[in-house]
Chain A
Amino acid sequence: MTSDDSLKLERLMNQVVDGGLSDSEELQLETLLHDNSTARDRYLRFMMLHADLLWDHGAAASLIDNESRTTSADQPRDVSQSVSLSQRNQPWLSGWLSPRLAVSMALVMVALTAWLVSQFVRQDRNISMARVSAALIITLEAIQGTAEWSDGPQKWQLSSGSEQRLSAGTLRLDGDGSSCQLRFDDGTRITVSGDAEAEFAQDSQKRLYLRRGSLTADVTRQPDGQPCVIETPTARVEVIGTVFTLVANSEQTALNVERGAVRMQRLVDGHEVEVLDQRRAIASLDATAEMQSVRVGPPPDSWRQNFDQPPPAICKGTWLAADGEQPSRVRGVPCVTSRRKSGKPIVHHGITARSGVETHLVTLHPDSVLRVRYRLTNEAPLRIMLGTNKPGGSFGGNFEVKRNSQQETLDSDGWRTLTVPLSEFQPLVKRYPSPLDGSQVSLLMINSHEHDVGLEVCEIEIRSTAP
């Protein structure tokens, strides 16, 4: 966050609580908060301070005001007057409880406060101590794309090559094609992939928080009573020993269990479901949605996407409707695939198709072939990347192929057809040398390197050539 932004944020926050913002200032504040997680943290701390001051001193003042009013009128304080004070200071009591019951409850709660505060204070201290622990808990095994690790105030770019030992911290991956594999000392392996953010900690048990992205965990048998705990914005799972994948965003979490059993809890209402081998469940923010474990078959052996209609949300690119001679198509858009050592993003231009949380795009077989109908404004090499999951759902590796556009014949209409057998794709992560028969495609990226060469795609197909 620049010092200019920092000053601007402070000015806007103070205006919010002291005077209000104009429309343009509202927009400035929203933009700052959208763009920067540090700004969001500072905003939350500021607002919590403001709310704490209001809660402590605003409430006390209104109590004094009401008491003095009652006293000056020389009237005895009856129950209804007491309740009006409660309603002012504790809004939650009003509207749906009878006044007498509200007063009774308030008295009971006051009696319990001392015990509760002591419990919470002790709990907070324990957590704080766990957080400041700087023990090395996890080893970085492999990385593809760009990853940043932050450990409190320090953050740095992770680099591939030799294994690195890391203390508790936060992993951030940039770009859909990134992935990172880490190993705890007991052999538990965690693979995070896609545009993702995950926190790692370990005290008496492993604790992970997946804010967004995809996480595959191969968890070795954990000690009794000390399960590995993984939370997302919408769900919590506790694991003894199993292989599974979580895909999370701010609204929902999909759990796909490859081996073993995992109990998932929906945070919004505490509802739990046990998910067994080869089954899937989804937890969202909607407490009324049915949450159940379902068996999901593999995706089809063939997948074809044209762009006669605006593409579904799984596709990234600018849709262009058919116009006379040209078919409907999608034009490449800028996408960050990695970063230089300086932190500057490397921007490619291309299109992306990513599966939703509920199902993958297509099942791969040794005879599968990718076919793309495309055109370019300028000749340039193209990179095609497949992100895959194993047949059971866990991360299966990323694979790519590079093609010079001049390798394909230019048709009379200016379009080319790129055809690539699966066997030509090369692994990007050594641990996954080739896609397994039955692997599922979760991501397809087609892009040029750094420069925008006017890539447009009107059709993509992956299909098995077997009869």
Chain B
Amino acid sequence: MDDKSQNEPPSLRYLELVTQSQRTLYGVLWSLLRNANDVDDVLQETNAVLWQKAAEFDTRCEFLPWALKIAQLQVLAFRKRRQRDKLVFDEQLLTELVVNSIRDIHQAESRRRALAGCLQKLPGDHRTLLLKRYASSGSVNDMAAETGRSPKAVSEALRRIRAALLECIERTLAQEAQT
């Protein structure tokens, strides 16, 4: 390994890789932490470490698995700080989830492309409901009050829409693989 100074600014290529990895890191951290504030915090800490370790990265290697491992360590550190909260999975499960994420890492971009197509295929009222949930960051209770439906009915509708999207993504990927 090269003994480069940590003060040396990262290469443009490294910055590209860090940028490119953000969305995947964000997704994996969501899986591990399940809380928006925690995800933002740990993503920032992960990025700080990625910056510090820029000189250590071997550009012949795949970046995402390396970045995910660093993210995993940050989650473990976070977990240690928050151990009493019972809000974070145990270490073994965290590791299993990271291992599965690394295994499927190359599918992430394909899944996102498929999601974009599947969103267009949703009935209009379903798409509106989903975007209201995500675009306004509104809680189910807020949405229920706004639309005059019960919170349970809104939750059920969102559940069905997500299930339909996941099924559509799988179907799209299977079709792509056949062609």
Partner-B contacts on A (CB < 8 A) = 10-11, 14-19, 23, 26, 30, 33-34, 37, 40-41, 43-58, 60-62, 90-96, 105, 108-109, 112-113, 116-117, 120-121, 123-124, 127-128, 131-132, 209, 211, 233-234, 236, 250-251, 265, 267-272, 285, 287
Complex formed: what's the CA distance from A113 to B95 in Å? 31
Complex formed: what's the CA distance from A54 to B162 in Å? 13
On whether the beta carbons of B162 and A43 are closer than 8 Å, the reply is: no
On whether the beta carbons of A61 and B135 are closer than 8 Å, the reply is: yes
The digit string for B26-57, where 1 denotes a CB below 8 A from any CB of A, is 11101100101000100110111001010011
Report how many residues on chain B are interfacial, defined by Cβ distance under 8 Å. Answer: 79
**B6 contacts the other chain (CB 8 A):** no
On whether the beta carbons of A14 and B66 are closer than 8 Å, the reply is: no
**B150 contacts the other chain (CB 8 A):** no
**B20 contacts the other chain (CB 8 A):** yes
On whether the beta carbons of B108 and A53 are closer than 8 Å, the reply is: no
Identify which of A40, A58, A91 contacts B100 (C-beta below 8 A). A40
On whether the beta carbons of A250 and B99 are closer than 8 Å, the reply is: yes
Cβ of B70 to closest chain A Cβ, rounded Å = 7
Partner-A contacts on B (CB < 8 A) = 1, 12, 15-16, 18-20, 22-23, 26-28, 30-31, 34, 36, 40, 43-44, 46-48, 51, 53, 56-58, 61, 65-66, 69-70, 72-73, 86-87, 89-90, 92-93, 95-104, 106-113, 115, 130-131, 133-137, 139-140, 155, 158-159, 162-163, 165-166, 169, 176-178
The CB with the most chain A CB atoms within 10 A, among B1, B86, B87, B113, is that of: B1
Q: Which residues of B lie under 8 Å from residue A270 when comparing CB positions? A: 1, 56-58, 61, 66
Identify which of B30, B73, B90, B101 contacts A30 (C-beta below 8 A). B90
Complex formed: what's the CA distance from A116 to B158 in Å? 34
Complex formed: what's the CA distance from A10 to B66 in Å? 30
Q: Which residues of B lie under 8 Å from residue A116 when comparing CB positions? A: 16, 20
On whether the beta carbons of A23 and B110 are closer than 8 Å, the reply is: no
On whether the beta carbons of B16 and A124 are closer than 8 Å, the reply is: no
With A109-B15, A128-B177, A132-B177 in contact, do A48 and B27 touch (Cβ < 8 Å)?
A: yes
Q: Which residues of A lie under 8 Å from residue B162 when comparing CB positions? A: 14, 46, 49-50
Residue in A closest to B174 when the chains form the complex, CB atoms: A132
Complex formed: what's the CA distance from A49 to B163 in Å? 10
Complex formed: what's the CA distance from A95 to B47 in Å? 10
The number of inter-chain residue pairs (CB within 8 angstroms) is 193
Q: Which residues of A lie under 8 Å from residue B19 when comparing CB positions? A: 109, 112-113
Complex formed: what's the CA distance from A209 to B99 in Å? 11
Cβ of B91 to closest chain A Cβ, rounded Å = 9
On whether the beta carbons of A128 and B110 are closer than 8 Å, the reply is: yes
On whether the beta carbons of B135 and A60 are closer than 8 Å, the reply is: yes
Residue in A closest to B21 when the chains form the complex, CB atoms: A92
A-B contact pairs, 17 of them (CB 8 A): A11-B159, A14-B155, A18-B158, A23-B86, A47-B34, A48-B108, A58-B137, A91-B43, A91-B44, A112-B16, A121-B109, A121-B113, A211-B99, A251-B95, A268-B69, A269-B57, A272-B1
On whether the beta carbons of B61 and A265 are closer than 8 Å, the reply is: yes
Q: Which residues of A lie under 8 Å from residue B69 when comparing CB positions? A: 234, 267-268, 285
Cβ of A326 to closest chain B Cβ, rounded Å = 34
On whether the beta carbons of B16 and A109 are closer than 8 Å, the reply is: yes
Q: Which residues of A lie under 8 Å from residue B106 when comparing CB positions? A: 123-124, 127-128
Complex formed: what's the CA distance from A121 to B44 in Å? 27
Complex formed: what's the CA distance from A51 to B140 in Å? 17
On whether the beta carbons of B159 and A268 are closer than 8 Å, the reply is: no
Q: Which residues of A lie under 8 Å from residue B28 when comparing CB positions? A: 44, 48
On whether the beta carbons of A128 and B95 are closer than 8 Å, the reply is: no
6 closest A-B pairs by beta carbon, nearest first, are A92-B47, A51-B27, A47-B31, A61-B135, A57-B134, A250-B95
On whether the beta carbons of B101 and A265 are closer than 8 Å, the reply is: no
Complex formed: what's the CA distance from A26 to B40 in Å? 22
Cβ of A456 to closest chain B Cβ, rounded Å = 29
Q: Which residues of A lie under 8 Å from residue B110 when comparing CB positions? A: 124, 128
